[in-house]
Amino acid sequence: MLKGALIAFGIMIGSIAIPGFHWVSIWFGPFLAGYFGGGVARADEDKIVKFGLLVAGMMIVPLAAALGALYLFDIGGFFRFFLIVMAIVIVPYTWFGVTLGALLSYLSRKKVAERAAAEEANTASS
């Protein structure tokens, strides 16, 4: 599960790092990260919420770095307020998006497995 969570974290950070494109990708980054990372982690019914919490917990590292920079460089005013609000919003948003993406990944993998089992049963009965 750690490998899938690291892939999901990389997708989210990578979607932020692309100039210009990040204005669009930042909103869908957690969902896509959860979909692909959940597929790699093979997150099933019992692991989906844990997977989302793990990836959201990883987002605390860059947020702590940003908040640490506030106090290290004595950044004040609106920028400080903006970063604090974003820190409060980003972790729950990340958890929700990653969990939803992992859930849809699980449902699509389950549907493919059910189709394969049905086709196998049809060929075996023929």
Provide block-wise average pLDDT over 10 residues at a time, the chain (126 residues). 89 83 82 90 87 89 80 75 80 90 92 89 77
Alpha-carbon distance values, 112 to 42, 96, 119 (Å): 14, 24, 11
3-state helix, strand, coil in the chain (%, to 5): 85, 0, 15
Crossing angle of helices 48-58 and 60-72, in 10° steps, is 20
- List the domain range (segments joined by +) for residue 99: 2-125
Give the DSSP H or E segment for 79: helix 78-125
**Reported pTM:** 0.80
Torsion from C-alpha of 108, 109, 113, 115, nearest 10 degrees:
20
Number of domains in the chain: 1
> What is d(CA 94, CA 60) in angstroms, rounded to the nearest whole number?
10
Q: Which amino acid is at 93?
A: Y
Which pLDDT value is given to residue 126? Answer: 63
